Amino acid sequence: MQTRNIIVIGASTGGFTILKKLVGDLPSNFEASIFIVWHMASDVRGVLPQVLGQKTTMKVAHAVDGELITPNRIYIAPPDHHLLIEPGHVRVTRGPKENRFRPAVDPLFRSAANAYGPRVIGVVLSGALDDGTAGLWTIKDHGGLAVVQDPHEAEAPSMPESAMRKVEVDHVVSIDNLADLLVRLSQEHVTDAPEVPMPEDERTKLEVRISAEDSAFDKGIMNFGVLTPYTCPECHGVLSAYKNGNLTRFRCHTGHAYAADSLLVDMTENIEGNLYDAIRGIEESVMLLNFMGDHFAADNQGSLAAQYFQKANEAKTRAQNVRQVMLSHEFLSKDRLQQHAEAVDIIGNKDLPR
């Protein structure tokens, strides 16, 4: 009988230390195949294989496109590439970013669920925002298991907390107990995969193909989901909303995908840049108006020059107003709003009678 021997792990901020401990705690003869996505900047040299390789005798390396899946092997997503799983082998691609990242956790989890169903164990570790939640939901939907690091001990608890809010998690575990849990779960025999509704199954397969570099538009992504008034922060394409249980996600017709909190962060980050663009444009018009005013003044057209100087001063005032708006702008995320809410509660409680 088959066992749960496909383990997919997602981590971001705080994940480096946790991954080192986990790999060091696993037995050297561990027969599962492990796949890891750790968020990193695209220009960072991938050092994770070398670091983890010092903690175990298992083979640890960046995955290679088309490489066979073997037991007792740790596959790591290379910088600026998604790591995907297909039956029997891995894919390493530069498909569209998801949740602002490439590599991203959701494509790995989604592809593993699609390829191996109940044989998959999904693990969400420390990290900011909500990458991994949608993929973990898909793993559960296909009969796999969902494991989450105890957010109370996570350096960045947002990723495990998001998973716990949106997914029926099977295990919330301390990092000290994670290796033992994975050893035990990997020895369990699995039953047949549950039947996934046809529309959900078709969309999962389509999203895997998009991450594998197929054209989202040509594959018919616009036939799924509901069009929204939002545009993609990455490419400005229209976003459609998709539902996984009580989880809402967004994807544009070029393929970029977002969970709700990641979309909010990207949108509010872009606002500052847009406001600076507005200030730049207005200030350039001030310079041009003054230049032309000087020209007409030198040409003894005083009345016309005065009009240019007046409009330059009005534009300068508008630039100052936009600058004040920009300075008051906030980057928003669930974590920040949660902090604001807790601060309001604390201040309000001070006024309550004791």
Q: Does residue 150 sit within a domain? A: yes
Q: Does residue 233 sit within a domain? A: no
Q: Are residues 284 and 155 in the same domain?
A: no
Q: Does residue 39 sit within a domain? A: yes
Helix (H, G, I), strand (E, B) or coil at 79: coil
What is the spatial distance between Cα 97 and Cα 112, in angstroms, rounded to a whole number?
A: 18
User: Which helix or strand (DSSP H or E) is residue 137 part of?
Assistant: helix 133-141
| Residue 90's CATH number | 3.40.50.180
> Which has the closest alpha carbon to 240: 231, 228, 232?
228
Q: Are residues 153 and 290 in the same domain?
A: no
Query: Which token pair is 69?
Result: 């899946």
Q: Are residues 136 and 31 in the same domain?
A: yes
Whether residue 42 is predicted with pLDDT greater than 80 in this model: the reply is no
- What is the per-residue DSSP string for 256-322? -EEEHHHHHHHHHHHHHHHHHHHHHHHHHHHHHHHHHHHHHHHTT-HHHHHHHHHHHHHHHHHHHHH
Mean pLDDT over residues 4-12, rounded? 97
| Final residue before a domain boundary, out of 186, 213, 242 | 186
Q: Are residues 19 and 123 in the same domain?
A: yes
Q: Are residues 23 and 149 in the same domain?
A: yes
Q: Does residue 321 sit within a domain? A: yes
Q: Does residue 191 sit within a domain? A: no
pLDDT at 338: 81
Q: Are residues 172 and 277 in the same domain?
A: no
Averaged pLDDT score across all residues of the chain: 93
Whether residue 353 is predicted with pLDDT greater than 70 in this model: the reply is no
Q: Which residues are catalytic?
A: 12, 39, 131
What is the spatial distance between Cα 187 and Cα 150, in angstroms, rounded to a whole number?
A: 23
Residues 150, 178 contacting (CB under 8 angstroms): no
**Residue, of 348 and 100, whose pLDDT is higher:** 100
Sign of CA dihedral 148, 153, 154, 159: positive
Q: Does residue 253 sit within a domain? A: no
- What is the per-residue DSSP string for 145-211? EEEEE-GGG-SS-HHHHHHHHHS--SEEE-HHHHHHHHHHHHTSB--PPPPPPHHHHHHHHHHHHHH
What is the spatial distance between Cα 260 and Cα 274, in angstroms, rounded to a whole number?
A: 21
Mean pLDDT over residues 229-256, rounded? 94
| Final residue before a domain boundary, out of 186, 207, 238 | 186
Q: Does residue 302 sit within a domain? A: yes
Domain range spanning residue 342? 262-349
Q: Does residue 354 sit within a domain? A: no
> For 55-79, how does the pLDDT look when each residue is reduced to its tens digit (9 = 90+)?
999 999 999 999 999 999 999 999 9
Q: Are residues 22 and 143 in the same domain?
A: yes
Per-residue pLDDT band at 194 (split at 50, 70, 90): confident
Q: Which long-range contacts (CB under 8 A, 24 or more apart) does 88-91 make?
A: 90/35, 90/63, 90/64, 90/65, 90/66, 91/65, 91/66, 91/212
| Final residue before a domain boundary, out of 155, 186, 217 | 186
Q: Please tell me the total count of domains within the chain.
A: 2
What is the spatial distance between Cα 249 and Cα 258, in angstroms, rounded to a whole number?
A: 6
Q: Are residues 27 and 154 in the same domain?
A: yes
Q: Are residues 43 and 162 in the same domain?
A: yes
Per-residue pLDDT band at 352 (split at 50, 70, 90): very low
> Which has the closest alpha carbon to 60: 23, 91, 26?
23
Half-sphere exposure (Cβ direction) of 177: Cα atoms closer than 13 Å:
11
